Amino acid sequence: MIQMKNVIKKYPNGIIAVKGLNIEIKQGEFAYIVGPSGAGKSTFIKMMYREEKPTSGEIRVNGTDIAQLKDKEIPFLRRGMGVVFQDFKLLPRKNVYENVAFALEVIEEKPENIKKRVSDVLKLVGLAKKANMFPDELSGGEQQRVAIARSIVNTPKVVIADEPTGNLDPETSWEIMRLFDEINARGTTIIMATHNKEIVNTMRKRVIAIENGQIVRDERGGDYGYEF
């Protein structure tokens, strides 16, 4: 479903964050992206939903090269993907419910469906009681869970999560991971950048290790692999 060929990303400040990536991730896969801080994981992820445009190379999502996408078509690419941003990116003037509902409003879902679906998802991430609170009234972990809820609410074909458990305690982290595993079992592709060794080593999946903008390892059922 996602293929990259010789993808290079050079930021305007001259930093080459991704130096020739070649990868294929198939529909239904579950892949961890691991690697040191600043390795290029987020850049790699951002190019999949076109937050960043590759400097050169080809990125195919379901066959179409999204580097060539017209501005108008980008929203439709993004609707098929649920993204958990590393910095959450919640709308500050919308409460928890509205933040999650927004992903459904965007695809013009019927209001009655929205209500039901949002409540269900908020229950899944343990925030049913905080539906009316605003992001700045939430703890770090609660904000992260809102971001997760928003990413899965419209049952996308891929969930792309950048460090989704960085602010969560281990117990909540495992709940989220079980949630992802379940969704994955129903056919959703999961791509997740993480620094959580325990999760990667326990819930064995494909591991793609990036260092210095290049893939240095790509194993099915691999382990986190960085020892210290």
Partner 1 sequence: MNFKIIGRHMKESLTSMVRNRWMSFASISAVTVTLLLVGVFLVIMMNLNKVADDIENDVEIKVLIDLGVNETEELQLHQKVEKMPGVESVKYSTKKQELDKLVKDFGNDLSLFKQENPLHNVLYVKAENPKQTEKVAKEIMTYKGADKVSYGKGKIEKLFGFLNVSRNVGIILIVALLLTATFLISNTIKITITARRSEIEIMKLVGATNSFVRTPFIFEGMWLGALGAVLPIAIVTTLYATLHDKVTPTLENEIVQLLEVMPFILQIDLILLVMGVVIGVLGSFMSVRKFLKV
Ligand X SMILES: Nc1ncnc2c1ncn2[C@@H]1O[C@H](COP(=O)(O)OP(=O)(O)OP(=O)(O)O)[C@@H](O)[C@H]1O
Q: Which residues bind its own copies (CB under 8 A)?
A: 11, 13, 15, 34-38, 41-42, 86-87, 133, 137-142, 145, 162-163, 166-174, 195, 197-198, 224, 226, 228
Q: Which of 83, 148, 207, 215 touches partner 1 by CB under 8 A?
A: 83
Residue 89 within binding range of partner 1, rule CB under 8 A: yes
Name which of residues 67 to 86 contact ligand X (CB under 6 A). 86
| Rounded Cα–Cα distance for residues 103 and 23 (Å) | 28
Nearer to ligand X, 43 or 151 (CB): 43
Nearest C-alpha neighbor of 1 from the set 103, 80, 75, 73: 80
Considering only the stretches 7-15, 23-31, 85-93, 165-173, report the one whose residues sit in contact with partner 1 under the rule CB under 8 A: 85-93
For partner 1, the binding residue among 107, 181, 185, 216 (CB under 8 A) is: 107
Judged by beta carbon distances under 5 to 8 A according to partner kind, the member of Mg ion, partner 1, ligand X, none in contact with residue 137 is ligand X
Q: What kind and span of H or E run contains 210? A: strand 206-211
Q: In Å, what is the CA distance from 76 to each residue of 43, 49, 79, 218?
A: 21, 10, 5, 30
What single-letter amino acid sits at 63?
G
Instruction: Indicate if the alpha-carbon torsion angle 70, 76, 81, 85 is positive or negative.
Output: positive
Q: Which stretch binds Mg ion (CB under 5 A): 20-28, 40-48, 52-60, 98-106?
A: 40-48
Contact 180, 29 (CB under 8 A): no
| CA-based end-to-end distance of the chain | 35
Q: Which is nearer to its own copies, 111 or 170 (CB)?
A: 170
170 is a contact residue toward partner 1 (CB under 8 A) = no
**Identified binder of partner 1 from the candidate list 26, 93, 123, 178, rule CB under 8 A:** 93
**Cα distance between residue 15 and residue 2, in whole Å:** 25
What is the closest distance, in whole angstroms, from the C-beta atom of residue 41 to Mg ion in the complex? Answer: 5
